Structure 1
Amino acid sequence: MTDLAARIDDVFAATLDNLMGLVTIPSVSAWSDHAEIVQASADTIVNLLTDLGCPDVRIVAEGGQPAVIARFPAPEGQPTVCLYAHHDVQPPGPAEGWTTEAFTPQVRDGRLYGRGAADDKGGFAAHLAALRAFDGKPPVGVTLFIEGEEEIGSPSLATILERHADLLAADVYVIADSVNWQVGEPAFTTTLRGLADVVVEVSTLKHPLHSGQFGGVVPDALGALVSLLATLTDADGTCAIEGLVRGKADDLDYPEDRLRDEAGLLDGVALTGTGPLVDRMWSTPAVSVLAIDAPSVADASNTLQPSARAKVSVRVAPGDDARSALDALKRHLLNHAPHGAHVSFGAESVGQPGIVAFEGPACEAARDAYREAWGGVEPVFMGCGGSIPMVADFQQAFPGASVLVTAVTDPDSRMHGLDESLDLGDLRRAGLAEALLLQRLAR
């Protein structure tokens, strides 16, 4: 380990500088007017890998945002490892919620702050550090797949996997897009919830009406929508949608005070649901209202609204099917509409849940590598409440390969939230762990 640890130390400052440069690029895949910026992010990654001496770097885009595929061919008789991350990011949210501007990276107290630092440009940085530790000449074949539309549900991923299977085929896949147990304690993710979401519209009127003239007789669509959304959970916040699979997580102790602190829960606010916390977060369905289209308070008038829309999201338990879960969500919304309100649906998307078996020689090599990189700390095997649907896509496309779901982030990284950040010590350890894994997989 000593030589690789020293090499990671040698390359870390430059790798961090490159990561900060990537964070300055607002590669928000959800914004159609940012297509050129997402392209610029992909181009930057191509340049970094070309400078490392990668002999085969290309950008692919099968009707969607650009992904980067880079290949370091395997020496004779050696396996190939595919390292995954994504370079697109979530929108930053309200600017006033950030301590510093979202796309102006800043290091504070050993953490790098900025949109995408943790999710998931930090994952690419860990891959880059591991390859630089070998001066761009890893002992096994390495393929990097850096996706450009993970944050919008990877709509063209299936096509990329189908059309470029020869480029992406590998013996082991390392997907650096999950979360560690806590700072200084690595984890492998073994279960993932899926995702099913839909835009629902509720209509009650042909046109707006004066609320004084007709209020108390005519139902307004916004009120009907609020009533409908309230039926999605029981009084304690448990998902009330019928027909969804409910599982049980591994027996891990997740203290409530730790969860409240990591979530930033306000004093006196109760947790939702019942049962062990890890079951509620990882192995049972959860429903959330993500957004509502309605008049703003500033623009409000005494008017009954004829229609209102909301985006509703279900996190789907491992072992369930995301498409079936979407059908159950839509069925619930249709069956619970108040006052006979009309319900229709708009844009929808699904991402499958996953079960990631940790077994076989590659997984054991990974356990040893991550333990060593984290100074003897045993990795935790945990579920993840967030969705990483490409895991199931990789498992389906390459059924004979080992899949490892790893992380550079921790529970305080606030992925998708304000003041997203990454612990620099764990970033260094993640890069070292990947380098050690590549070394151990060499035959």
Structure 2
Amino acid sequence: MSESTSALDSAQLHAELDTIFDEVLNDLTDLVAIPSVAWPSFDASRVTASAEAVAALAEGLGLEVEILTAEQPDGTNGYPAVVASIPAPEGAPTVLLYAHHDVQPPGREEDWETDPFVATRKGDRLFGRGAADDKAGIMVHLTALRLLSDRLGVGVTLFFEGEEEAGSPSFRNFLETYRQRLRSDVIVVADSGNWAAGTPALTTSLRGMCAVEFEIATLDHAVHSGMYGGLAPDAMLAMTKVLASLHDEHGSVAVPGLHRELETDIDYDEATLRGDSGVLESSELIGSGTLASRLWTQPAITVIGLDIPDVAVSSNTLQSSLKAKLSIRLAPGDTPASAVRAVEDHLRANLPFGAQLRIVETEGGSPWRADEADPVVRTARQALTDAWGTESVTMGIGGSIPFIADLLEVFPDASILVTGVEDPDARAHSANESLYLPDFKAAIVAEALLLQRLGSTQ
């Protein structure tokens, strides 16, 4: 084994990281200051500025960097991604390091305790939009490479996407367009979280998702609720009955045909879960089975949109038609196409009063489960354990990363590792998003250990 790939230990890397950590935080602070929201209603130039800032950081490590785009399904250009590469030594694997530099919209300013685009440190947490999701992921990748320098021992390709929070519309075309440039043996997706602050985890399963938008009609025009109420079936009544049919009396999904698995190896503490999720003390948890299975391996359906008049402008009217949008989370083993069919069949079977149903739009992303017997997975878990000094766990995530399926289809032989810096109180997507700095440091060291060990095993 050469000197460049000789074994490094966690303590050495932590000590080296401490000497540069203030610089790392300054770079992350500069990235958080850029409101890189890749939604049509926001300034696209800010996403470009974010890509340029990330590219400059990568160039500072001596990498040759490109800012690239690909077409979205509608033919327009997608948002910019940053790509850079370090060639692999002879016989060594190439590792693709993925993160995204775009962020969620800030939401209501009054819900934030700090300016969402000013990184603000309070104790061991750094607050700001993107501080955790996912500009910290970018800094994990870049800082791990900085720590290793000529001790790397593997090839590396950086792929920092610019539209993940907008659903990655150009992602699949991007993979196809730059397939040769992105081809790799191991893919590290730094966009997940850990079991708890201070307890590292490797994400080994993700629920898939699909969305179904539909319209129910019962009248050809709206009418006076006093004149016809009690006789004419209004769309709101039909809609509430249909929506109520989606769950049983315990709150479990009641749609036949949706796949479910009930067992998980580890489980949540209920008090912790209630605290993390903000469930009121008076509210009962819904569903059945272990708490972890309800979040990871069972389907969930949420009504995320309903087109009805606001209370402030409502009138005494029977609504003739209404639209609703469902978000459906799929258990590993299901497919979006199968789930959409099951939901559509259920809606039709439960229409009351002869109401008419029109499916407006559907979309979906596949679930995913890792092969925990993969030696790369075992290497990653050990790196996490060593970096944190705490035994790592494998866990599922109730959310979805739909592009994992695209990565598997384009690079079917690659090992995929889903890691991240978030903890249950990071509040990604919500107001007061924050990064727990001790876990951020451990994540950097863990990735450096992983990369060095992947190279030294060749």
Same-fold call, TM cutoff 0.5: yes
User: Does 2:427 match 1:414?
Assistant: yes
Alignment-mate amino acid for residue 26 of structure 1: P
Question: Among the aligned pairs, what percent are the same residue?
Answer: 49
* CA 335–25 in structure 1, closer or farther in 2 if over 3 Å, else same: farther
Consecutive unaligned residues of structure 1, counting only runs of 5 or more, are none
Q: Deviations over 1:291-324 (max 9, x none)?
A: 2222112222222222222220110000111121
User: Does 2:365 match 1:365?
Assistant: no
User: Does 2:313 match 1:299?
Assistant: yes
User: Does 2:58 match 1:49?
Assistant: yes
Task: Confirm or deny: 8 A CA contact 1:198 1:347 kept in the other structure.
Answer: yes
Alignment-mate amino acid for residue 420 of structure 2: A
Report deviation, 1:347: 3.1
TM-score, length-normalised on structure 2? 0.91
3-state SS of paired residue (2:43): helix
1:275 to 274, 283, 289: 289
* CA 91–309 in structure 1, closer or farther in 2 if over 3 Å, else same: farther
Quote the Cα distance in structure 1 between the aligned partners of 2:191 and 2:156.
18
User: Does 2:284 match 1:284?
Assistant: no
Report deviation, 1:239: 0.5
3-state SS of paired residue (1:177): strand
Task: Confirm or deny: 8 A CA contact 2:70 2:173 kept in the other structure.
Answer: no
Report deviation, 1:405: 1.0
Which runs of 4 or more aligned residues in structure 1 lie more than 6 Å from their structure 2 counterparts after TM superposition?
none
Alignment-mate amino acid for residue 40 of structure 1: A
Match of 2:412 in 1: 399
Task: Confirm or deny: 8 A CA contact 1:53 1:136 kept in the other structure.
Answer: no
Match of 1:89 in 2: 103
3-state SS of paired residue (1:17): helix
Task: Confirm or deny: 8 A CA contact 1:42 1:59 kept in the other structure.
Answer: no
Match of 1:388 in 2: 401
Match of 1:424 in 2: 437
Quote the Cα distance in structure 1 between the aligned partners of 2:108 and 2:308.
19
Task: Confirm or deny: 8 A CA contact 2:67 2:80 kept in the other structure.
Answer: no
Task: Confirm or deny: 8 A CA contact 1:173 1:401 kept in the other structure.
Answer: yes
Task: Confirm or deny: 8 A CA contact 2:262 2:289 kept in the other structure.
Answer: no
User: Does 2:38 match 1:29?
Assistant: yes
Equivalent runs, 1:45-194 vs 2, <5 Å: 45-63=54-72, 64-135=78-149, 138-194=152-208
Match of 1:340 in 2: 354
Report deviation, 1:32: 4.2
Quote the Cα distance in structure 1 between the aligned partners of 2:139 and 2:426.
16
Task: Confirm or deny: 8 A CA contact 1:289 1:311 kept in the other structure.
Answer: yes
Match of 1:258 in 2: 272
Aligned residues: CA RMSD: 1.9
* CA 346–94 in structure 1, closer or farther in 2 if over 3 Å, else same: farther
Task: Confirm or deny: 8 A CA contact 2:97 2:187 kept in the other structure.
Answer: yes
* CA 435–313 in structure 1, closer or farther in 2 if over 3 Å, else same: same
Greater mean alpha carbon deviation, residues 181-190 or residues 45-54: 45-54
3-state SS of paired residue (1:407): strand
Quote the Cα distance in structure 2 between the aligned partners of 1:40 and 1:336.
50
Alignment-mate amino acid for residue 398 of structure 1: F
Alignment-mate amino acid for residue 45 of structure 1: V
Task: Confirm or deny: 8 A CA contact 2:58 2:65 kept in the other structure.
Answer: no
How many residue pairs match? The answer is 442
Report deviation, 1:66: 2.1
Task: Confirm or deny: 8 A CA contact 1:52 1:136 kept in the other structure.
Answer: no
User: Does 2:239 match 1:225?
Assistant: yes
Quote the Cα distance in structure 1 between the aligned partners of 2:103 and 2:240.
30
Consecutive unaligned residues of structure 2, counting only runs of 5 or more, are 1-8, 73-77
Q: Deviations over 1:73-109 (max 9, x none)?
A: 2233322111111122223333322222333332223
Alignment-mate amino acid for residue 134 of structure 2: D
Report deviation, 1:252: 0.9
* CA 168–93 in structure 1, closer or farther in 2 if over 3 Å, else same: same
3-state SS of paired residue (1:178): strand
Greater mean alpha carbon deviation, residues 304-313 or residues 350-359: 304-313
User: Does 2:14 match 1:14?
Assistant: no
* CA 94–202 in structure 1, closer or farther in 2 if over 3 Å, else same: farther
Alignment-mate amino acid for residue 363 of structure 1: V
